[in-house]
Structure 1
Amino acid sequence: MAEQFDLSSESDSDADMEINMLVYDMAKRRKSIWKSSYMEKRRSHGEFTLTSEFSDSRFTNYFRLNRIQFNEVHSIIENTIYSEGCNAQIPIGSREKLAVFLR
C-alpha cells in the first residue's frame, strides 16, 4: 500500500518556501556580474545613442566604417529604409536601422 503524505502542513510549506527563497537569492547573486559603465547606461540611453560618445577609432572598429562613411551610406539608403510607423508607435530611426545592420 502506498503511503499518503499530508502536503497541507504549514511548517513544511514554510520550510519549502525558505529553501526556495534561498535558492532564488543564490541564483540572483550568481547572475550579477560586473558591467562596464557603458553597459549600465545602455539600458536607459540605448546602444545607438551611446555610439555618439565613441572616439573616432572606437566608432570605426564598432561599425567598420568611419563617421563620414557611415553618413554617406546613410544618405544613399535613407529613403529606402525610412518608416512612417503605425499604431502611434515611434519607429526605429533610419540611422539606428543602419547601425543594427552594420553591427
Structure 2
Amino acid sequence: MVSPDPNMFGGTVEVRTGGETREVPTEFGFQRGVGVLELARALRAGVTERASGALAYHVLDIMVSISQSIEEGRPVAVESTVERPAALPADWDPSASTL
C-alpha cells in the first residue's frame, strides 16, 4: 500500500498486488480529518463513534505487527480483533454545520 504524505493534504492511495498497481478512490476528495470530525459529531449527538478506542488499538496492533514482521523477516499474526464500524452514509457532508 502506498499512501500520500499526510502533511501535504492530498495525493492518491495505491494498492500493489501481484505486480499490478491500482488507485483506491476516496469518497470525499480528502482524507485528513474525516475521522476526527465524525468522532466530534458522534460525541455531540450522543451516538457510538466509528473511531473508537478499540479500533485505534487494533490499528496500532496491525502497525506493530507489520514492523515486527519486517524486522524479523517472518509473518507476524495480528492478535487483536475489532468489529468493523458502519460506513459513513452516502449523504454525509463533512462541510455541513453541526452547531
Q: Which TM-score bucket, shorter chain as reference?
A: under 0.3
Point out the structure with the larger strand share: 2
User: Greater CA radius of gyration, 1 or 2?
Assistant: 1
TM-score (norm 2): 0.23
Point out the structure with the larger helix share: 1
TM-score (norm 1): 0.23
